[in-house]
Amino acid sequence: MATRSSTLHHSPGDSAPARAPGRRGEQSRPARTSRPPLGVVDRAATLERARQRQARVLFLVSGLVMAGALTVAAAGHALLAATQIRSDTLSGQLANALTTQQDLQLQRAELETPSRVLRLAETRFKMISPAGITYIQPVDPGESVLQAHEPAAAPHPKTAHHSQSR
């Protein structure tokens, strides 16, 4: 039967040497995963990768800004087109309303002509023209009730001034 070696195993990355499994009172540790070998980092290559990463990020951000700007421009154009269509529709409705108003004013003027009113009065309402026209002169009704109840003691300043200047 082969015996296990009780030698110490030491790897360069370990801080303390590990004991060989199989001793009394010790529990076995899980095996460590192997690490890639360490080497010297090339500063120029690291800087180049960082520049490439920055260029990709800058390209992505500029693409997003351009896409946003184009979206805003398209939305503005759509809003402008919708507003122009509404304006054209309202202009057409206004022109139709003005034409209708002019037609109605013309019809009203034709209906209000004195010859038409006289003809309707004579034919439809059986009215006749008078032999003569007498105008009644307006009558002075005298003083009003308010004027009759006002005290006549103090003349009004304007009327007193007018009577003195005459």
Summarised one tens digit per residue, pLDDT across range 110-143 is 999 988 998 999 999 999 888 888 888 888 888 8
Summarised one tens digit per residue, pLDDT across range 37-84 is 888 888 999 999 999 999 999 999 999 999 999 999 999 999 999 999
Q: Confirm if 103 and 111 have CB atoms less than 8 A apart.
A: no
In the chain, domain spans: 44-117
Whether pTM > 0.85 for this model: the answer is: no
